[in-house]
Amino acid sequence: MVRFGRILLLLAACGLSSAPGVHAQTVVASADGETPGVRLDITEAKRGADDTLTVKFIIVNKSASAFKFGHNLGDQAYGDFGNVGGIHLLDTTNKKKHLVIRDSQKNCVCSSKLKDLPAGNSINLWGKFPAPPASVKAVSIVVPGFMPLDGVAISQ
C-alpha cells in the first residue's frame, strides 16, 4: 500500500493522476465541458507582484474516451497545438478581454506539450495573463469547450 501511495504522490506531483480525486487543491469554480463526463475545476486565480494573474486549473476526464488537447484549447490565430493558449479572462468591470501572455516567439506562457488525457484521469494546468487593475476583484474565465466561469475571485 505504501508503494501505491508513493506512485500516486509522484503522479500528482507531475500533474497527471490515474486515480480520480487524488488532487487536494481547493476548487473555487467548476464547469462542465461540452464533452459529457469532462469537467474543469479552477483551483486558483492569483494576482502576482509582476502585474500578472496566474490561473491554475484541473481538467477531470470521467468520460469513456480520451480528452484530446490538440488544437482544442489553443488559440487558432497562433496555430496552438497541445497547449491551453486559447483561454482568456474577461474583466467585465472594465469591459476588457485578457489573452494569455505570449513570449517573444509567440508561444503561450501556459501549460504546453500536452498529450491526450486518458479516460478516468485528471491533469493540473495553468496559464499566465496580464492582471486587470487592482480594483477588479473577480473575473470570468473562458476556456474553449467548457461553460464560462463567471465571478471567479482573484486572490492576492
- Grid cell 476588457 — which residue? 96
pTM of the model as a whole: 0.83
Domains detected in the chain: 2-153 (2.60.40)
Sequence-ordered list of residues with C-beta below 8 angstroms from that of 79, at least 6 positions apart, any chain: none
Q: Among all chains, which residue has been given the C-alpha cell 478516468? A: 120
Kindly report, residue by residue over 28-52, the tens digit of the pLDDT.
Answer: 999 999 999 999 999 999 999 899 9
* pLDDT of residue 20 exceeding 90: no
Q: What is the average pLDDT across 110-115?
A: 97
Helix (H, G, I), strand (E, B) or coil at 115: coil
